[in-house]
Chain A
Amino acid sequence: MANLKLHNINKYYGAYHAVRDVSFDIPAGEFVVLVGASGCGKSTLLRAIAGLEEISGGDMTLRGTSITRLAPRDRNVAMVFQSYALYPYLSVRENIAFGLRARKTPDAEINTQVAWAAEVLDISDYLDRYPRELSGGQRQRVAIGRAIVRDADLYLFDEPLSNLDAKLRDGMREEIKKLHEKLGKTFIYVTHDQIEAMTLAQRIILLKDGQIEQVGPPLDLFERPRNAYVAAFLGSPPMNFIEVNVSAGSVILPDGQALPGCAMPDGIYTWGIRPEHFTADEQGPLLAKLDVIQPTGARSYGTFYIAGNHMMAELDAHAANHGQTHLSVAMDRTLFFDPATGEAIP
C-alpha cells in the first residue's frame, strides 16, 4: 500500500510554473531521492509535502487520508533542513526534544527518546551543549536527531549534507543510509548531487523544470535512461554525447572514423558513451589524441576532441598518456538517442 500518494501536483509562483503535474506513489518504508538541477522544483515539492508551501492544484494523501489542506503540524511529518535550523537559545537536548514537547509528550518518554536518538547519532556527550559550541557535522547530527526522535509517517530531508565539507559528507551519507535501514521509515530526500542520489536512493525521482523526467531504481536510471537529459545528469564525469551516422553496423564519427559492432538500424543518432566505456587498447578502432590527463589515483581522465566535440575517457591510470592513443569502446553498453527529441532509442 502506498504510504504517500501525490496526484497531479502543480505549483505556480505568480506566472512561473514551478511544479507541473507531478504524480508519484511512495510505499511505506522506502528511501526516495528527489534529484534535479537547481530550480527544478524538488525543494518546492518537498516543502509542499511538509505543508510549508501551498500547492496550486492537485492532491496529496498520506496513509489513505488527504493531507492537501492540512497545516504542517497535522501531517505528522518530520523534516531536516539544509541550514539545520537549530534553535541557538536551546541546548542540544532541548533542540532534540522540541518536537516532542510541542506534541505534549510526557517527560519520561521525552528523556528516553532523546537518549535513544543521541545514542543512534553518537551525540550523547553533547546533549548539554549549545548549537554554537558544535561543529558543522555535529549540528547536522542534532538536526537529524530532532527529526528521528519523533514517530512520524514521513521523514523529509532538504539537502541536509550540502553545508558539510566533502569528507564529512561521505561519512554522513553512509550514516543516513544505515539510519534508514535501522528505522525502516519512509525517507524522502532532496539533493542536487547525483552521487548522493545514486548512493542513497532505493528509488530516484529525477526532476527537470518542475516535471518528472524519470522514476526508478538508481541503476535502472543509470543504465537505461529515458532520455539524454537523464543520461547526462547521472554519472560523473558525465556521459559524452556526439552526433553520429550509423551505417551497415558501423558507427561513423563526424571525423570519418568508423567503429564496427553497432546493432542499430542505419540513421543519424546522438550517441552516448560514458567515460568508463572507453578502454585503452592497442587494437582499439578509435584513434584519439589525449590533450589533458587528470589522474585521480586509480583511474585517470583523458580529454580528447572528435571534430570539435569534447570527449572524456576514464582509463587505467598508467594507460592514459598524452598524444595519440588507441581506444576501444564497449559498443553494447553505449546508448543511442534521437537527435531531435533526445529520447533514448532502445
Chain B
Amino acid sequence: MIRWDRGWRLYLRVALALGITLVFVFPVYWLAMISVKSPDEIYAYPPVWFPSEFRFSSYVTLFRDGDAWAVWNSLITAGVSTVLAMAIGTTAAYSIVRFRTGGENLAIWIISQRMIPPICVAFPIFLLFVSWQWIDTRFGLILLYTAFNVPYVTWMMRGYIQDIPLELEHSALVDGLSRWAVLRKVVLPMARAGLFATAVFTFIFAWNDFLFALVLTKSEAVTYTVKVTGYFGSQSTFWSKIGAMSMLGVLPMMFVVATMQRFIVRGMSLGAVKG
C-alpha cells in the first residue's frame, strides 16, 4: 500500500516536471521550427507542428547578407565585457572583503548602482556617447556593459570570497605569495564555482540587453537583439528570418548554460547559504 503510494507520487512528480519542461521548451522549439518552415507552413492553420522539409534558406540569407554579423557583435560585446567585469569586480570584491575597503557601506552602495532602472540613464548616456563619438561602436557597448555588470560581479563575488577560510590565504602569504598571487592561486580556485556562475549571469545580462543596443547602435555595432526587431516590417514580417536570427542568438546561450550547468547550480546554492 505504502509502496504503491510512493511509486504513484514519483510518477506524478516526473509527469509534472515533464509538463513544466514542455511549457518552457515549446517556444524554443516553435522558434526553431519557424526558422526552417516554408512561408506557407508558417502561416498555415491549423498550425504545422513539424515541417515537411527543413529549409535552411533563411540561415543562408542571414550569412550572405551579413546580418549574422550582429550575433558576432553580441558575442564580442558580451564576451569582452564579461571578462572585464569579472576581473574588475572580483578584485574589488576581494579588496572589500579582506581590507574592508570603503567600510561597511561601500558594498551596499555598489549593488545599489545595479538597481538603477537602465531607462533612467539611457538618455544621459546617449548624449555622452554622442559627444565622445562612441555611438555605434562595440567599444562603447563593451564599456557600458562592463560598467553595468561590475556591481553585480562585486556583490556576488563578495559573498563567495567571504566563504573562503582566512587561514588558507594566510598560509599562502607565509609560504611566500604576494597578495596578487594569493588572489590568483588561492582565492580564484577556491571561488571557482561562484566565479563561473557569476560569469554566466554576467554574460547573459549583456547578451540579453536590448535597450542600450537599440539606443546606442545604428549599423556597425548592432547586436542580434536589435537586429531581430528589424525584421518586423510595416508591410510584412519576415518570420523565418526572425526565427533563424533568434536561433542564432539562443544557441550560444544554450551552449554556455549546458557546459557551465554544474557550476551554475553549485554557484547559486553557494550564494544561497551565505546571504
Using a CB–CB distance below 8 Å, which chain A residues touch chain B?
Answer: 47, 50-52, 71-73, 75, 77-79, 81-83, 85, 87-89, 98-99, 102-103, 146, 150, 156
Contact = CB atoms under 8 A, between A and B. Distances in A.
B175 A73 contact: yes
B181 interface: yes
Nearest to B170: A52
Interface in B151-209: 165, 167-168, 170-178, 181, 186, 189-190, 192
Contacts, number: 61
A79 B171 contact: yes
Q: What 8 A-B pairs have minimum CB-CB distances, sorted nearest first? A: A99-B175, A102-B176, A85-B171, A85-B167, A73-B176, A72-B173, A81-B167, A79-B174
A85 B165 contact: yes
26 contacts: A50-B174, A51-B173, A52-B173, A71-B178, A72-B170, A72-B173, A72-B174, A73-B175, A75-B174, A78-B174, A79-B170, A79-B171, A79-B174, A83-B167, A85-B165, A85-B167, A85-B168, A85-B170, A85-B171, A89-B189, A89-B190, A102-B176, A102-B177, A103-B175, A103-B176, A156-B174
Contact of A81 (B170, B176, B177, B178): B170
A77 B171 CA distance: 11
A81 B192 CA distance: 23
A73 B177 contact: yes
A98 B168 CA distance: 12
Given A99-B175, A102-B175, 14 more contacts: A47-B170, A51-B173, A72-B173, A73-B174, A73-B177, A79-B174, A81-B171, A83-B167, A85-B165, A85-B170, A87-B189, A102-B181, A103-B176, A146-B175
| Most central of B168, B178, B189 by chain A CB within 10 Å | B168
B190 A99 contact: no
The main secondary structure of chain B at its interface with chain A is: helix
Contacts of B173: 51-52, 71-73
Interface residues of B, number: 17
Nearest to B186: A87
Contacts of A81: 167, 170-171
Interface in B118-173: 165, 167-168, 170-173
| Most central of B168, B174, B175, B192 by chain A CB within 10 Å | B174
Contacts of B178: 71, 73
A61 B156 CA distance: 42
Contacts of A73: 173-178
Interface string B13-48: 000000000000000000000000000000000000
Contact of A98 (B165, B167, B170, B172): B172
A51 to B, nearest CB: 7
Interface string B90-109: 00000000000000000000
A71 B182 CA distance: 13
B74 to A, nearest CB: 33
Nearest to A73: B176
Contacts of B165: 83, 85
Contacts of A87: 168, 186, 189-190
A50 B170 CA distance: 9
A287 B194 CA distance: 69
B161 to A, nearest CB: 16
A71 B174 CA distance: 9
